[in-house]
Amino acid sequence: MPRPSKDRVGGAKRERQANPEFKGFVDFTVSDAEHEAFDEWVKEAEEVLFWKGLMARLEGGYKLSLSADTSNECYIATLICNVHGSADAGYCLTARDDSAFGAMMLLFWKDEVLLKGEWVKNKGVRGKRNFG
């Protein structure tokens, strides 16, 4: 049996919105004290928290990527806000760690705990030209 098309809502064709234009990176580096707080937080975090965080962001309109940076021997998790109307639309937040799980959890922690889901409001941003 064919699956229903995601392009249709109630029989009518759904209009797709393009992703917001890329604006730049959130300029946010975790301090030593914040890293210590993260280490305590992640010890208590269960795998369930990881999956809840992942699904909440994906279903909330964010794009999430995870890549290996072999030259720096770490993983980079990146969250891009594609939520139209959000002050964060077009910006991305990143986190690095020596494990893929750690990079994802650090990213979720930065978003939830430190920036409280409002990246631009709670931290400065670095435009796309300054990335290098």
Query: From CA 126, how far away is CA 128, in angstroms rounded?
Result: 7
Distances 112 to 31, 48, 64, 117 between C-alpha atoms, Å: 16, 16, 15, 5
Does residue 25 lie in a domain region?
yes
- For the chain, how many structural domains are there in total? 1
Query: Which ranges constitute the DSSP H helices of 10-99?
Result: 32-44, 47-59
Does residue 11 lie in a domain region?
no
Does residue 4 lie in a domain region?
no
Tell me: pLDDT of 130 over 50. no
**Can you give the length of the chain in residues?**
132
Three-state secondary structure call for residue 62: strand
Closest Cα partner for 80 from 57, 106, 112? 57
**Which domain covers residue 39, as residue numbers?**
19-130
Query: From CA 57, how far away is CA 7, in angstroms rounded?
Result: 21
Does residue 37 lie in a domain region?
yes
The pLDDT of residue 132 is 33
Does residue 10 lie in a domain region?
no
Residue range 23-41: mean pLDDT, rounded: 79
Q: Please, what is the average pLDDT of the chain?
A: 80
∠ CA 41-43-47, rounded to 5°? 100
The predicted-structure confidence for 57-104, as pLDDT tens digits, reads as follows 889 899 999 999 999 999 999 999 999 999 999 999 999 999 998 899
Q: How much is the pTM?
A: 0.67
Percentage of the chain modeled with pLDDT above 70 = 78
Question: For strand 62-69 and strand 74-81, is the pairing parallel, antiparallel, or unpaired?
Answer: antiparallel
Does residue 6 lie in a domain region?
no
Closest Cα partner for 66 from 81, 79, 50, 55? 79
